[in-house]
Amino acid sequence: MNTIRPQPALSTAWPTAARRWAVRRRRNSISAPRRKASAWSTAKSRPLPCALNDWADALYELDRYEEALPLYREAYEGRREVLGEKDEKTLISANDLAYCLRNMDRREEALEYYRITVEGRRETLGATHSSTLWSLKAWAGVLQKLDRREEALPLLRELYEGYRDTLGEHHENTADAVNDLAYCCKALGRKEETERYFRITAESFRAVYGEKAPTALWAKSDWADALYALDRYEEALPLYHEVYEGRREVLGEKHEKTLISANDLAYCYKALRRYEESLPWFTVVVEGRREILGAKHPSTLWSINGNGDALYRLQRYEEALPLYREAFEGRLARNGWDNAQTVTSATNVALTLKKLGEYAEALPLYRQLFDTCSSFYGRTNYRTTDALDDLAFVLARVGQKEEALEKYRLLAELYGEDPQQRGNQLYARRNAAISLWNLGCKDEAREDCRQLLAEHTALYGADHEKTMSMADLLRRMGGA
């Protein structure tokens, strides 16, 4: 296929003669190959497929794929019949067909022609020939677009190894190929391989483009992300620092990519439980994103929430609360209640209020959380049961003991639907027994505790701390 060159726009500001020349040139780019194809077709001479291919190429350059496609098909069939299936010109036509179908979003059909091209070129040109590798890259790319990454993976490995063996590890094509391989492994959840290939990518991009080139810094950030995903935070941290310093120097302090790197640093320190060190990085990110993206942007709200998390971990609840509120209110306004991030932020606000003893303020939030989680995640999802547990606790603290008992019994019922939640079910029933006691139903509470002690003993054994705690509760109720 000929190189695709951008066509100049036919602006009315052009001189008349220049406009006429440009129009004539565009017409000729199609009409000349079309005349040749028509003449050769009339003469029934051998060059017909070549002329058809030229005509199709001219249409392709003008994005007229629907018109180009039948010409490419005819050229391919003609060459296959005259020259044979494995002739390079036949394979060029198969490759052209594949590209045309891909650009028409007919990817499934394109795959067959990519397969024909690659298998033919492997046999005739060799597995590491540049044309073979180029078609291999396109084939793998279409498979990834179709979410058929398991099929794309061996092709991407072959592509990387082919470029590495012919061009060397530190060549632009090799670096691009290993980068594609790393992203495919990442999408497939193959974390160890992802880390290895992103490491190679980072080293190759640094060698090809230079230490501070944006592409090299992006590759190093991907490598750090892969280490982070493996919980190898100590190894990721210095890489995040290098990327941040490089981006700050090249792009500036307030550039969004620089702020992404500062955010990565903040979360890495947080993952290392170095919360005090994470705080200044969160401050950099939040202030920068408020200024550049706006206070309500999802990325800004994400960083505000992370800043609140770090303060919460440091038990600085009074400082965490306004940040959690800001993130919650922004997400609620943007996404509504039926959104995972809104639920997360609402939970953070409610938990912080609970820690501060502000039970009356937390209560309506927990009611809404339980209702939302029940419909959004399902009755037995852990988010739903956690919200119900906290709701029952807060109800008891504000003196609504009968409703607290009702919620603990419902919690036990929900846990009872999953055999793996047996321990949590016993915990909920224990709290229900305490609620009964607080309501003055002492005999019923003692009877429930006796039953619970027997079940704890059967599940955990007599010497387990949970069994001993249950026995102690029964003694305090006068039931020993």
194-197's contacts with Cβ under 8 Å and 24+ in sequence apart are: 194/226, 194/229, 195/223, 195/226, 195/227, 195/229, 195/230, 195/232
For the domain 21-146, what is the CATH code? 1.25.40.10
pLDDT at 412 over 50: yes
Per-domain boundaries in the chain: 21-146, 385-480
Residue 419, pLDDT score:
86
Residue 22, pLDDT score:
38
pLDDT at 314 over 80: yes
pLDDT, the chain, mean: 89
Least confident of 5-14, 171-180, 184-193, 373-382: 5-14
Residue 47, pLDDT score:
47
Instruction: Determine if the pTM surpasses 0.85.
Output: no
Nearest to 88 by CA among 135, 121, 129: 121
Residue 384, pLDDT score:
95
pLDDT tens, 317-350?
A: 999 999 999 999 999 999 999 999 999 999 999 9
Confidence of residue 480 (pLDDT cuts 50, 70, 90): low
Please report, rounded to a whole number, the percentage of residues in the chain having pLDDT higher than 90: 79
**Backbone torsions φ then ψ of 238, nearest 5 degrees:** -65, -30
Other Cβ atoms within 10 Å of 314 Cβ, number: 14
CATH entry 3.40.640.10 includes domain 385-480: no
Query: Is 385-480 the same fold as 21-146?
Result: yes
Confidence of residue 148 (pLDDT cuts 50, 70, 90): very high
pLDDT tens, 39-69?
A: 444 444 444 778 888 888 898 899 999 999 9
pLDDT at 9 over 60: no
Q: What angle do CA 318, 321, 322 make, to 5 degrees?
A: 105
pLDDT at 116 over 60: yes
Q: Is 14 left (phi over 0), alpha (psi -120 to 50) or beta?
A: beta
| Residues listed for the chain | 480
Residue 282, pLDDT score:
96
pLDDT tens, 420-471?
A: 899 999 999 999 989 888 888 888 989 989 999 999 999 999 999 999 999 9
Residue 304, pLDDT score:
96
